Amino acid sequence: MKNIFFGFVIGATTLAACNDSNNKVAENKNDNRDTAQVKAQAGSSTATTATVAEVKGTTSIKEIVTTYLQLKNAFTKDNSNDAASAGTSLQTAFKNFDKIALTAPQEKLFEEVADDASEHAEHIGKNGGNIVHQREHFIMLSKDMADLIKTLGNGGQTLYKDFCPMANDGKGAIWISETKDIKNPYLGKAMPTCGTLKEEIK
Amino acid sequence: MSNLRKVILVVGLLFIAIQFIQPAHNKNEQALPTDFAKIYQLPANVERILQNACYDCHSNNTSYPWYSNIQPMASMMARHIKNGKEKLNFSDFGSNSPRKQISKLKEIANQIKDDEMPISSYKAMHKKANLTKEEKMLIMDWMNKTADNLSAEN
């Protein structure tokens, strides 16, 4: 029993001693936090661009569009789990996108869209079972996709930009479809044909 | 000494031992130029609600309650704050692109509408974070309005 007790006393003292030096490091960190934070930000943004530029991507706009359409079709069927797996695939497609052929302004737009759209795709991927939350992100993701297609093209297939006036709490929302017939991803089976065709993207 | 007593002693000593491990506090009074309140015209009532219900986990300044120095609560809080700031940091909101700012503003409104945020464990300890219906409406309207204005500009 005595041994156990002494073990703890020694253990606690060591911990306290270790912690002392940790605190000092922490304090130093706090002092430099402002500069460190700025540096970290600058560092991380250059780091991402550097890695992406070095490694040749494997996906094209065609894969991104196809995966988005899978996601859209899962929503038209109210299938939250299929939407989740398509969301995760879409996140990967954005991550592995090959930017070699892009012009500078195209790349700038892609970076901005991908930064936002990947986060929506991630949320959709992680919220299988919560289709309400998934669809909130799908509204913003669809806007990103429309802007991306406008700049990078449709990936070789005719697409349609549709509008649902009832989605987004009555403020309306767009989506991209591969079929001329309306199949509403926001209302699903409840109102499958609600919506209007806004634009044909050839 | 009985086995029960030994167990109590060991647990007690462990409790004392973990008190020596204290995570660094999330405290940085100096406001960044990218601070939420600096990039938007923030009405006082909106700012007060954000301060009471959001900033503890979503900014560079946590107002720590007394129990925050007691382990294992200290580590639990540090983890919550780290995760919270990764998703949304009001102290550095302006570092997001306008597109992402619009998304985040709408997401804030959605999370409040769906009652996902503030999280219930936080609300249990912070009475002020239990937003009234009016407070929720105020935040949602302001977030959506700001997002729409930003969309019109970009």
What's the total number of domains in chain B? 1
Residues of chain A in contact with residue B86, where contact means CB-CB under 8 angstroms, are none
pLDDT at residue B153 above 60? yes
pLDDT at B136: 94
pLDDT for B81-120, tens place per residue?
Answer: 999 999 999 999 999 999 999 999 999 999 999 899 999 9
With CB atoms and an 8 Å threshold, state whether B21 touches A15.
Answer: yes
Helix residue ranges, H only, chain B: 3-18, 36-39, 44-53, 55-58, 73-87, 98-113, 120-125, 133-153
The residue among A3, A6, A8, A45 with the most chain B CBs within 10 A of its CB, best to mutate, is A8
ipTM, 2 decimals? 0.78
Count CB atoms within 10 A of the CB of residue B49: 21
Residues of chain B in contact with residue A29, where contact means CB-CB under 8 angstroms, are 24
Region B22-35: mean pLDDT is: 83
pLDDT for A121-175, tens place per residue?
Answer: 999 999 999 999 999 999 999 999 999 999 888 888 999 999 999 988 888 999 9
Residues of chain A in contact with residue B28, where contact means CB-CB under 8 angstroms, are 30, 33-34
pLDDT for A24-70, tens place per residue?
Answer: 344 444 444 444 444 444 444 444 444 444 456 788 888 899 999 99
With CB atoms and an 8 Å threshold, state whether A8 touches B17.
Answer: yes
pLDDT at A55: 57
Contact call for residues A62 and A88 (beta carbons, < 8 A): no
pLDDT at A33: 40
At residue B26, φ and ψ (nearest 5 deg) are: -90, 85
pLDDT band at A72; cut points 50, 70, 90: very high
How many Å lie between the alpha carbon of A137 and the closest alpha carbon of chain B?
8
Sheet with strand A196-201: strands edge to edge = A173-177, A159-164, A196-201
With CB atoms and an 8 Å threshold, state whether A19 touches B1.
Answer: no
Give the closest of B17, B102, B107 to A11, CB-based.
Answer: B17
**Torsion B102-A162-A72-B141 (CA) sign:** positive
pTM as predicted = 0.75
Exposed/middle/buried for A147, CB within 10 Å: 0-12, 13-18, 19+?
Answer: middle
Count CB atoms within 10 A of the CB of residue B82: 12
Residue closest to A121 by CA, chosen among A83, A78, A90, A80: A90
Choose the weakest-confidence range: A15-24, A115-124, A152-161, B43-52. A15-24
pLDDT at A43: 41
Give the closest of A4, A26, A119 to B24, CB-based.
Answer: A26
CA gap A126, A83 in Å, rounded: 10
Residues of chain B in contact with residue A112, where contact means CB-CB under 8 angstroms, are 97, 99-100
Contact call for residues A65 and A154 (beta carbons, < 8 A): yes
With CB atoms and an 8 Å threshold, state whether B106 touches A140.
Answer: yes
Query: Any CB–CB contact under 8 A between B145 and chain A?
Result: no
pLDDT at residue A84 above 90? yes
pLDDT at residue B135 above 90? yes
Average pLDDT, chain B: 89
Count CB atoms within 10 A of the CB of residue A17: 11
CA gap B5, A94 in Å, rounded: 58
Residues of chain A in contact with residue B27, where contact means CB-CB under 8 angstroms, are 30
With CB atoms and an 8 Å threshold, state whether B103 touches A116.
Answer: yes
pLDDT at A37: 43
With CB atoms and an 8 Å threshold, state whether A133 touches B28.
Answer: no
Give residue B138's domain range: 3-153
pLDDT at residue B14 above 70? yes
pLDDT at A31: 42
With CB atoms and an 8 Å threshold, state whether B110 touches A133.
Answer: yes
Give the closest of B20, B103, B110 to A16, CB-based.
Answer: B20
Region A76-83: mean pLDDT is: 93
Report cis status (omega within 30 of 0) of the bond before B118.
yes
pLDDT band at A200; cut points 50, 70, 90: confident
Residues of chain B in contact with residue A16, where contact means CB-CB under 8 angstroms, are 20
